Amino acid sequence: MSILITGGTGLVGKYLQHYLKDGIYLGSRDYDLTKEDQVIAMYEKYRPNIVIHLAAKVGGIADNIQYPFEYYEDNLLMNTLVIKHARTYNVKKFIGVLSSCIFPDVVDHYPMTEEDMHKDLPNANNFGYGYAKRVMGCHIDIAKKQGLNYSYITPSNLYGEYEHGDVSRKHFVGALLEKIHTAKVNGDDHITLFGDGTPLRQFTFAKDIAEIINLLIQYDIKENLNLTTADNLTIDQMARMALEATDSQHLKIQYDTTKPNGQYRKDIDTTKFKNIFANYKFTSYIKGIKQTYNTLYGK
C-alpha cells in the first residue's frame, strides 16, 4: 500500500515520519502543487493508494493580513488540484487537513462542532486562508457524497519542534517561544505580543495530530473530525505558562494594542473524535512547549 504525504517536510509531516515510516514524503521543493502539470506529474510517478494532504501556505496573523490574496489563491489552487487528481488517479483513501480558521468569526454557542463550519463567515484577519480551507472541506464532502473514501480533520492551532522560518510566518506558540529565546539571548527584559492578551485559543502539539492520522489510516476512519486539546486558554495565560516552562519568569509581557487581537475565540468540539478514540490523551500544553523549546533552543 502506497501512502503519499504532501507537505511531508512540514510541521506535522516531520512527526508523521515517525509513524508511517514507508510513506512518500514530499515538500515544496519536489512539486509546486499550485501548478496542474506538476500535480499530475506527482500522481503519475507515485500512483498512491492513500493521500494525506498536509501541504498549505501558512503563516501568522500579520502575514495573513498583509497577503490575503496569496493565502487564498495558493491554498485554493493546491487543494483543488490535489483532490481533483486524487480522483483521476483512483486514490482509495484521502485525508485532508483543514484548520479551525474555517469556522465563523462568532457563533451563538461554543465549542463549535463540525457542522458549524457554514453558519457564518470566517474571521476577517484570516479570511483568505480560512475560506480556502473551508472550500477544501466542501470539495471533500462532495467527493464523499459520490462514494469516495475522502475525509478531513480540523485541528486547532498547532505548534511543535519542526516549525521553522521567519517569526512572522509562525503560529502563535512558535513565534512566542522564538521571542522568549531571542529576549534571553539579547538580555532583554520583556517580550512584545500582538493585541491585549484576552483572546481564547486551543493549541495542539503537532505530534498528536500525526499520531491520530496514523490511527485514522490504521482503522480506516471515514468521518470528518475536529481535533484539539480540551484546554481553552487566553493568550496571556499561554504566554505566562510559556515563560514558566522555559524558566523565563524574569521577562515581562508587553502588549501592542495597536496590533490586532484576531478572532476572540474559536474553540472546537471533539465529541465525535472522543466517541471513536475514547482513551486518547492529548499532550498537555506545558509538556508540549517544554519539549518544543528544549529541542529548538536547549534548556
The residues annotated with a catalytic role in the active site are 129
- Return the residue matching grid coordinates 493508494: 49
Q: Is the dihedral of CA 140, 142, 148, 154 positive or negative?
A: positive
Query: Rounded CA gap, 247 and 286, in Å?
Result: 12
How many C-beta atoms lie closer than 10 Å to residue 166's C-beta?
Answer: 11
Q: Cis bond leading into 104, ω under 30°?
A: no
Which residues, including other chains, have CB under 8 Å from residue 93's CB and lie 6 or more apart? 49, 50, 51, 149, 150, 217, 220
Integer-rounded Cα Rg, in Å, for the chain is 19
Query: Rounded CA gap, 212 and 155, in Å?
Result: 11
Measured in degrees and rounded to the nearest 5, phi and psi for residue 146 equal -95, 20
Strands (E), the chain: 3-6, 24-26, 50-53, 93-97, 150-155, 157-159, 190-194, 200-201, 203-205, 225-227, 233-234, 252-256
Query: Rounded CA gap, 119 and 278, in Å?
Result: 28
